[in-house]
């Protein structure tokens, strides 16, 4: 770590700690900071193992809020795609055990709860034209986990001690409140613009490493934009879709040769079973 980096890290750590000390919560502060320094700060403040424990505490509540699709073949299919992306990401951070589930619902949406629990609506599967479009969303959600965005938002909103207490099952009231927020919003917490950009960028890299055409992410994003962004996790924050599409295209151009596998036939086959 060079001097500049460690200075940035200290400044950002101070910012987060100051926010917590002053307010106990600070949803605005975490939104503006992103990048690897914050990633490190999240690791320091909330170890991945604690995020995983919190996920364990919340899982039952989340599953009670939503209807999990009763279709082992589709569930297995989504888990297979999820596992491909987790492998491509280097299965990080250590301590997180990813899970992938399909929610029976027509919303074109996906969301992630603490501890790497990723939920995909049947509506999203139906809206995708090929596997690359679908796995692009999964890769984006996995990238929120690898970048510790959920940990950052939780700590900024609730304070580190409260999150640690919740992880240990010692703050049932706040845990229930967190679950209710999730139910009301359909996804956990709104990410900031830097976090969305980071998830877009890393997600594109994961899908390419998994052998998929990254343009699937772009075509699906355009589709979401055309339908209107209300309530869709991927479009829940600035920057505006146009600039994110431009950013994704620029990243893909820089990658040079990318796979052209779209997986159209397989997804169409799976959609018939829905």
Give the nearest residue (CB) to Zn ion. Answer: 199
Q: According to the binding rule CB under 5 A, does residue 124 interact with Zn ion?
A: no
Among the listed ranges 22-30, 85-93, 150-158, 194-202, the one in contact with Zn ion (CB under 5 A) is 194-202
Least gap, CB of 265 to Zn ion (angstroms): 28
Beta carbon nearer to Zn ion, 58 or 118: 118
Nearest in space to 148 (alpha carbons), one of 62, 214, 241, 52: 52
User: Quick one: CA torsion of 253, 142, 103, 31, rounded to 10 degrees?
Assistant: -90
Q: According to the binding rule CB under 5 A, does residue 110 interact with Zn ion?
A: no
DSSP-derived letter for residue 136 is H
Least gap, CB of 193 to Zn ion (angstroms): 10
Beta carbon nearer to Zn ion, 57 or 195: 195
Residues in CB range of 29: below 8 A, 6 or more apart: 15, 16, 19, 156
Instruction: Mark residues 18-37: x for contact with Zn ion by CB under 5 A, - for none.
Output: --------------------
Least gap, CB of 206 to Zn ion (angstroms): 14
Beta carbon nearer to Zn ion, 162 or 217: 217
Least gap, CB of 140 to Zn ion (angstroms): 6
Residues in CB range of 114: below 8 A, 6 or more apart: 51, 52, 54, 55, 58, 150, 151, 154, 188
Q: Are 118 and 110 in contact (CB under 8 A)?
A: yes
Where would I find the H helices in 47-171? Answer: 48-65, 72-88, 122-127, 131-146, 149-158, 160-167
Q: According to the binding rule CB under 5 A, does residue 199 interact with Zn ion?
A: yes
Least gap, CB of 220 to Zn ion (angstroms): 13
Chain positions 152 to 191 lying near Zn ion, rule: CB under 5 A, are none
Least gap, CB of 139 to Zn ion (angstroms): 11
Residues in CB range of 141: below 8 A, 6 or more apart: 110, 111, 112, 118, 199, 203, 233
Beta carbon nearer to Zn ion, 212 or 217: 217
Nearest in space to 92 (alpha carbons), one of 134, 47, 55, 147: 147
Beta carbon nearer to Zn ion, 125 or 199: 199
Residues that bind Zn ion (CB under 5 A): 196, 199
């Amino acid at each position: 770590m060079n001097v500049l980096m460690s200075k940035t890290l200290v400044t950002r750590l101070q910012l987060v700690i100051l926010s917590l000390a002053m307010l106990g919560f600070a949803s605005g502060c975490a939104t503006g900071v992103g990048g690897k320094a914050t990633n490190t700060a999240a690791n320091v403040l909330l170890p991945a193992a604690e995020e995983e424990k919190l996920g364990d505490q919340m899982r039952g509540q989340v599953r009670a809020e939503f209807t999990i699709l009763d279709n082992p073949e589709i569930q297995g299919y989504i888990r297979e795609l999820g596992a491909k992306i987790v492998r491509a990401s280097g299965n990080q951070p250590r301590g997180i055990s990813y899970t992938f589930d399909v929610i029976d619902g027509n919303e074109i949406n996906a969301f992630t709860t603490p501890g790497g629990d990723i939920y995909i609506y049947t509506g999203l599967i139906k809206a995708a034209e090929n596997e690359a479009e679908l796995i692009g969303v999964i890769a984006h959600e996995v990238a929120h986990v690898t970048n510790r965005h959920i940990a950052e938002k939780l700590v900024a909103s609730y304070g580190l001690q409260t999150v640690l207490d919740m992880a240990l099952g010692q703050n049932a009231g706040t845990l229930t409140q967190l679950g209710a927020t999730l139910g009301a919003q359909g996804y956990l917490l709104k990410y900031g613009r830097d976090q969305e950009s980071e998830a877009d960028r890393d997600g594109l890299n994961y899908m390419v490493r998994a052998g998929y055409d990254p343009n699937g992410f772009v075509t699906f994003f355009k589709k979401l934009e055309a339908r209107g962004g209300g309530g869709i996790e991927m479009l829940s924050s600035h920057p505006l879709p146009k600039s994110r599409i431009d950013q994704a295209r620029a990243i893909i151009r820089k990658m040079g040769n990318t796979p052209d596998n779209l997986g159209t036939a397989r997804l169409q086959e799976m959609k018939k079973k829905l």
